[in-house]
Amino acid sequence: MTAQDAGASEVGLQRIAAEGLQDVYFRDGGGRAQGLLVEFTDIDYIDVNL
């Protein structure tokens, strides 16, 4: 949200979200899937609850 408030581009926001998803969900904080890269492409909608 800080990046969005600072004027980050849509591509930049997608990159930040993909990196977070990659680390937390797929890599489990560094415990697995070390070489995995996640990209958001052609996103129409995402629902996130904080």
42 neighbors 50 (Cβ within 8 angstroms): no
Report the Cα 16 to chain-centroid distance in Å. Answer: 4
Full-prediction pTM beyond 0.85? Answer: no
21 neighbors 38 (Cβ within 8 angstroms): yes
For residue 22, the model assigns a pLDDT of 86
Domains of the chain, by residue range, sit at 1-41
Q: Return the higher-pLDDT residue of 48 and 22.
A: 22
Cα–Cα distance, 1 to 8 (Å, whole number): 10
Q: What is the pLDDT of residues 12-46, one digit of tens each?
A: 988 888 888 888 888 887 778 788 888 878 878 87
